[in-house]
Amino acid sequence: MKKIISTIAAIMVTVAMTFGQQTRYLVFEFIKVESNETYDFMAHREFMEKIYQGAINDKKITGWDLWSLQSGADPSEFQYIAVTYYNNPVSMMNGLAEEDLVRYAMVAYPHMTEQQIKDRLDAGNNSMDLAQRAYMQQIASSKDNFQFRRGTLASFDLMKAVEGKFQEYEKAEREVFLPIHQSRIDKGLMGHWSLLRTALPFGSEAKSTHLTMNVYKDYVQFFNAQEYEDMDSTAEHRAAVEKGLKSRDQKWVYLATLQNALR
């Protein structure tokens, strides 16, 4: 397994060099919390925020978000999405080890002993269930200076490229859909857009191969964007959009609100 992960990481490093130094790597964790554990989970989230900030300051990660789902998933499956950002695939695959978390926690909470911190981490992990984890690489994004703040709204669209049309789908996203989203951003109808390719899990049985993040500063911007219609669209452009839509299957759309973002 270690050899497989090393091979994947090596391939992704090569891809990153091809696309430049702006490539980002993201780990999505879909978290389920039982209703009677909500208070404990929120306390754990607050405890972890200082730890993740320590990891950012140490350049172990580049960011961390927590989103609460508004729609798109059965509440019995999961209610939160945590996103951890890395600047290279090796760091993404290694993640944050327990010893890292303890080390950052001892700096953030100097009044606690190492055992107290470990007990607190264990209690926090017991307050939630990791329903799914996905490792992803950002391969395209809009040009913007959007700042992720509490209350930011986003739709996470999970896609599965049609078999045999993997490259066609990515080309459509870059050449057809990205300009549409960029136009909306330039008009103030959207905040940010990015396309991510799934690194793990992978294979023909994977539930999804890609994910797009459509980000809005609030519900007003979100609903204005839904009402917007490009009157200058040509028949050729509409045909390209239709062809692009046929290259993928939109599996799920999760609408979520940002609870906190650390950078």
Q: Are 104 and 186 found together in one domain?
A: no
For residue 137, tell me if it sits in a domain. no
Task: Say how far apart CA 4 and CA 8 lie, in whole Å.
Answer: 6
Please check whether residue 52 is in contact with residue 27, taking contact to mean a CB–CB distance below 8 angstroms. no
For residue 139, tell me if it sits in a domain. no
For residue 237, tell me if it sits in a domain. yes
The amino acid occupying position 71 is: S
Domain end position, chosen among 103, 132, 161: 132
Q: Are 158 and 120 found together in one domain?
A: no
Domain end position, chosen among 132, 157, 179: 132
Q: What is the CA radius of gyration of the chain?
A: 19
User: Left (φ > 0), alpha (ψ -120 to 50) or beta: where does 20 sit?
Assistant: left
Q: Are 57 and 156 found together in one domain?
A: no
pLDDT tens profile 204-246: 555 789 999 999 999 999 999 988 877 567 788 888 888 888 8
For residue 64, tell me if it sits in a domain. yes
For residue 106, tell me if it sits in a domain. yes
Q: Are 257 and 209 found together in one domain?
A: yes
Q: Which residue has the higher pLDDT, 127 or 76?
A: 127
For residue 138, tell me if it sits in a domain. no
Total of domains in the chain: 2
pLDDT tens profile 86-113: 999 999 999 999 999 999 999 999 999 9
For residue 37, tell me if it sits in a domain. yes
Angle at 197 between CA 259 and CA 9, to 5 degrees: 105
Q: Are 97 and 18 found together in one domain?
A: yes
pLDDT of residue 11: 41
Q: Are 66 and 186 found together in one domain?
A: no
Burial of 3 (0-12, 13-18, 19+ CB in 10 A): exposed
* Structural domain for 202, as ranges: 149-262
What residue spans of 173-218 are helical by DSSP H? 178-186
Q: Are 199 and 257 found together in one domain?
A: yes
For residue 13, tell me if it sits in a domain. yes
In total, the chain counts a number of residues equal to 263
